[in-house]
Each structure stands twice: as C-alpha cells, then as structure tokens.
Chain A
Amino acid sequence: MPTVDLSVTSLRELNQALHEQSDPGNDRHWIVKNPKGQHALAAGVDAELDIDIEGHVGYYCAGMNKQAKITVHGNAGVGVAENMMSGVVHVKGDASQSAGATGRGGLLIIDGNASARCGISMKGIDIVVKGDIGHMSAFMGQAGRLVVFGDAGEALGDSLYEARIYVRGAVTSLGADCVEKPMEDKHREELAALIDAAGATGEVDIGEFRRYGSARSLYNFKVDNVSAY
C-alpha cells in the first residue's frame, strides 16, 4: 500500500504518480499523509484507486476525478470534486464553496456542511450532504441529484435546468424558476438509493424530505418573465 507523506513529497510528485496508475496490476490503495491544506490534491486521477487523504485539503481536491474513490479525512476547500466525471469522493468533514461544481458524474458525499454554491452548474453528479448547504446551491443545475439532510440557504436551485433536489430541513428561499414538486414513490425510491449509496441508510427518514425542481418557465425568453431574470 503506497503511502505518500506530503511533508517530504511534493504535490507534483504525488499527482504524477497517481496519473500513472492506469495499470490494474498496480497498488490500488493509496494513503496520503500531511496534506496540510494543499490545493489540487489527487486532481485528474483516472484509475480505480482508493485514496485516503489523512487531513484537511485546499482547493479543487479530486478535481475532474474519474473512477477513483477518494476520501478526505478532514475538511475540503473550494471546489472539491469539481467537474467530477465518475467515482466517489467522500469528505468526512465540512466542504467550502462550490463543492461538486459542474460535476458530470460520480458521487460526492459530504458528512458535514457544504458552503455556498454547492452543486453549482451540476451536470450529472450526485451529491449527498449530511449537514446544511449555503446559498445559491445548485445554481443553473443541469442534471444530477442533490440531497441535503439539513437546511438549504437562500436562492436554492436558482435558474435550475433539470437537476433534482431533495432537502430534509428548511429552505431559506428558492431561486428563480425553482419550485417544490410532489414526492411520489419513484422519487422516494430514487432518494433511498442515493442515501444508500452514501452509506447513510437508516440515518434519516425519507418521509421528511421535500423535492425541488425546475418550473421550466424560463427555458425560452419571454418578455413577461423579465422581472425573473
């Protein structure tokens, strides 16, 4: 099991090594010690690796991740798992702004809270936040699912396209063109599967969640909607 101590190994050396692990015969489980908030840790990985980062990370950890399961045993800075394609990124602590921004696939799990713009412009990623999320989350969300066990800040789902949002707690306000929609059986099944994928089955009551999505009234510009733009 390769162990990389970032107090002696550089970020560049770590990422280069991770980028060279496409051969399935290589060691699959990597441990990264002493991240000390460095940026772009494990960015651009494209291999079925299991990477444990033991500490807090800076911006863009696991950026554009493909295939890998990356676990941050600490807090994550801005843009964790930004533009993720596939795989799983699990933040054991809190996440800063723009968690999972523009993500196209895979699963992002945040055990703590996520700050503003969580899931901004999401394009297919699934995000499960066990705490609260900040304002403008899922802004212009195009596809994927955002699940929040706690509360959501202002302007949730502003200018939403087709991303789907489930929130268990209070929503301070909905953004333009984001509306509450009825929870049907198929939505409860979808939600249950996401909670299960996040390893949180039994932690929350699915009946307590409410569903939000696009009203689709702003999809084509109309002058009578001008006050909403």
Chain B
Amino acid sequence: MTTAKIPTTVPRQSATFDDYTLSEIRRAAATGLYDIRGAGSKRKLPNFDDLLFLGASISRYPLEGYREKCGTDVVLGTRFAKKPIELKTPVTIAGMSFGSLSAQAKEALGRGASAMGTSTTTGDGGMTPEERGHSDKLVYQLLPSRYGMNPDDLRMADAIEVVVGQGAKPGGGGMLLGQKISERVAEMRTLPQGIDQRSACRHPDWTGPDDLEVKILELREITDWEKPIYVKIGATRPYYDTSLAVKSGADVVVLDGMQGGTAATQEVFIEHVGIPLLAAIRPAVQALQDLGMHRKVQLIVSGGIRNGADVAKALALGADAVAIGTAALVALGDNDPQWAEEYAALGSEAGAYDDWHEGRDPAGITTQDPELAKRLDPVAAGRRLRNYLAVLTLEAQTIARACGKSHLHNLEPEDLVATTIESAAMARVPLAGTGWIPGQGGF
C-alpha cells in the first residue's frame, strides 16, 4: 500500500513584510539608527506617466514638427525685480550644495545649464567661485543654516531663493555627515572638520508669513530691488503655502514634490512626509489664479521630472518652468553602470545607489574625496547635461506642436487626460474617454 504524498503549499512571502521591510527591521535592530540616504521617494506614486496628451486632430490644428516655431523661453521674476531672469528653456537646475556635491559636479552643472541658457542653483553651503564662474545664471539660496551667506555673494547672484522647505523633507532641516565635511566645506560652513552637520529646519530670524514678508523686503533692500526673489516650498499644503508666498512678496514660487531628491535625509522622512508633485501643481496654480497672479508670479515645479513629456505635462498643468536635480546628476554620470562593481562593493548597485551622504560615490559626484571627485570630467559631464537638457526641451516642443501650441506655455490642462482615477483627481483633468474629473463638481 502506497502512502499518498500530501500536497503542501509553496512558501508565501508577506506582502506587508516584504524583503525590503524585513531587511530594514533587521538593520534597525542591529544598529539602533534610522536609515539615512540620498535621493527622493522611491515608492510607486501617482505621477506624470498617468497623464496623456490629446494631440490635435480635426477639432485642433497641429504645428509642423520641424518647421513651425514653438517657443521655449521663460522670464522669471517679473513681479518686482528690476532684473528678471530670462531663460531659453523652462528647465532649470535645482539647488544642490557644494559639500553634498563635489566641486567638479557643481562646475559641470554650471557648464551644462549655461550652454542651454538656463540657471543653476546653490545649496546649503554657500556659493563657490567655480560655481559662479561657470554659471551664466545662478540662483543663490537663503537657507535656515545661512552657511556661507554674505551680502557680496547675494549681490553677485542673479536671483535669490528663500528656502522654506524641500519635497524630500518638508519640515526638516539639512544634514551633511562628517565624512563629507572636508577642510574646504568646513571653512565655508564655519564648522569643525569631520563633525556631523545638522542645519536647522526653521529660519533663525523669521517664523511666519508676516515675518517672511519683512525678510524679503530686507533682501530686496540689500540688493537694491534688482534680484528676483524665489520662495521654495516642499509640497504639503500647496494652495495655502503658495498663497502665503505670494502674500509675502515672492516673485517666483518653487514647489518641490516628494520625489525631489535630497543629499541626506531619513528614509522615513523621504517616504512618508509630503505629497507627490502631480498632486501639488493644480492647488498651487489655483492659488495663483485666485489671487490674480498666475503668470505674474512664476511657478517652478520639481520632484521627479525625467523627460520632455514630464516637462510638457507640468507646464500644461500651469507651471512656468520646472527644475531637475536627480535627473541632472544622472546625466552627469550618477549611478552609471560603468561603476557596477564598485556599487556592488558598497552593497548597492547601479541605479539604486543612494548612500550619497557617505561620500564614497564611485561616480565622483556626491563626494568630497579628491580621488573620487577627479573621476568626473566637468567639461564632458557638462556636455552630457547640455545634451540632456536639449532633449528635454525638444521632447516638450514635440508634444506642444502636436497639440497645436506655438509656445510651451500655451499648453493647458484641456490638453490632458488621465489614465487612473487617482491621477485624474490630483491633476484635475478628465479620466481618459470620459468627462469625469473626480472631486470636481460632486459625483
């Protein structure tokens, strides 16, 4: 008599306690420290891929893709500044500090952006001569830490960006761990070399919108009202924050979604605080429209912009320009497969490397190690960034022409539909094939 084999179920992994979650529990139990990393949110979020353009057909008239003009220029700071910034493409480079990035990387960003007629932005560490020298248009950030802040650099800047928050960590301050506080970085930040630098989450001399208005007045007075003044916010309550930034006197509002990168922040902060860019743009635009300031106070959006379609979609939703950070670093050479073996040696892999705070970046970008930093040729990397910016611009133009627009700013929400209910609700455009915009006008 044979015994029948009893069937068994295959081992079942938990969807709740997946491999990543288990590894993080083990890591936390072993170290007692929260996980710190660079880059932005890595979780799947509603994003621009959920939107589609309605190209021209019988009811709309397209423009010839290779012949008819489609403008890309944008002027930022037209509200109060005597010297607004004129950009040839609406794709700017987001704020990233010398300290978090090598001097070569900052130079490459300046070279690439300048070649395309757009701007770069300093970060939480002050302005370096290399950066100023290689950036035709440089935005100088005023952050809570005020590292390196001085009136001479303020006057040398082409615009000033008051940083209230950023998408990766709205409500959080900066962080640069000791490994990256080299002698030069320490000197620029007035800190001892090698210590962990933690910069404040709040500005030291203003606390609310009424104070911010006075702070902006001071910055205008110091710079004789020449410079456009941006206010950068992390996306959380974009309608109210945009309204308050406008009330405070901003020329430009910079809105950063949770996909926006950071040099170093707690993983829990990156993934659980803030909202996706897709959900943030329309409330911000609504705030500008309600105040009668749309296109008068310009809106720059950032956080996960990857290609010209993203650029076109952001502009169609009402932004005046976009900013890129992570994508710009990738264009320079970040996470490049040519360093695969070295990423593996660091316990990571090309495409996933995010321990930017450790300063051991094989690509020589997020490091202060002189030997690693030498790997990045700023001229060649700047050329790659220029190429990438050109492609973003050309792709956005391609879509705009297909929609019959002679300027990227003529794109509008009516050119878009959504493929998911969530994205339809967030972007306030109809679900494809329907006239339904969830959340608008009841059910």
Contact = CB atoms under 8 A, between A and B. Distances in A.
Interface in A193-222: 219-221
Interface stretch (A25-33, A36-44, A179-187): A36-44
Interface in A85-128: 85, 97-98, 101-102, 104, 117, 120-121, 123-124
B146 to A, nearest CB: 4
A102 B149 contact: yes
A64 B205 contact: no
A120 B151 CA distance: 19
B30 to A, nearest CB: 11
Interface centre among A15, A59, A78 (most CB of B within 10 A): A59
Contact of B205 (A19, A102, A159): A102
A152 interface: no
A162 interface: yes
B221 A102 contact: no
A79 interface: yes
A139 B206 CA distance: 15
Interface of A is mostly: loop
A170 B211 CA distance: 31
B391 interface: no
A121 B191 contact: no
A43 B221 contact: yes
B438 interface: no
B192 interface: yes
Contact of A66 (B32, B151, B178, B190): B151
Interface string B197-240: 01010001110000100110110011111000000000000000
A58 B195 CA distance: 37
A11 B224 CA distance: 11
B205 A98 contact: yes
A140 interface: yes
Given A123-B190, A161-B191, A223-B31, A39 B150 contact: no
A46 interface: yes
A85 B214 contact: no
B20 to A, nearest CB: 22
A217 to B, nearest CB: 11
Given A79-B205, A104-B150, A123-B146, A60 B196 contact: no
Given A59-B214, A60-B214, A64-B150, 9 more contacts: A44-B222, A64-B222, A78-B214, A82-B218, A102-B149, A120-B204, A123-B146, A220-B178, A220-B195
Interface of B: 31-33, 145-146, 149-151, 154, 177-178, 189-192, 194-196, 198, 200, 204-206, 211, 214-215, 217-218, 221-225
16 contacts: A15-B222, A40-B214, A43-B218, A60-B214, A64-B154, A79-B218, A83-B151, A85-B150, A101-B146, A102-B204, A123-B146, A140-B200, A142-B190, A219-B192, A219-B195, A220-B196
Interface of A: 11-12, 15-16, 19, 39-40, 43-44, 46, 58-60, 63-64, 66, 78-79, 82-83, 85, 97-98, 101-102, 104, 117, 120-121, 123-124, 139-140, 142-143, 159, 161-162, 219-221, 223, 226
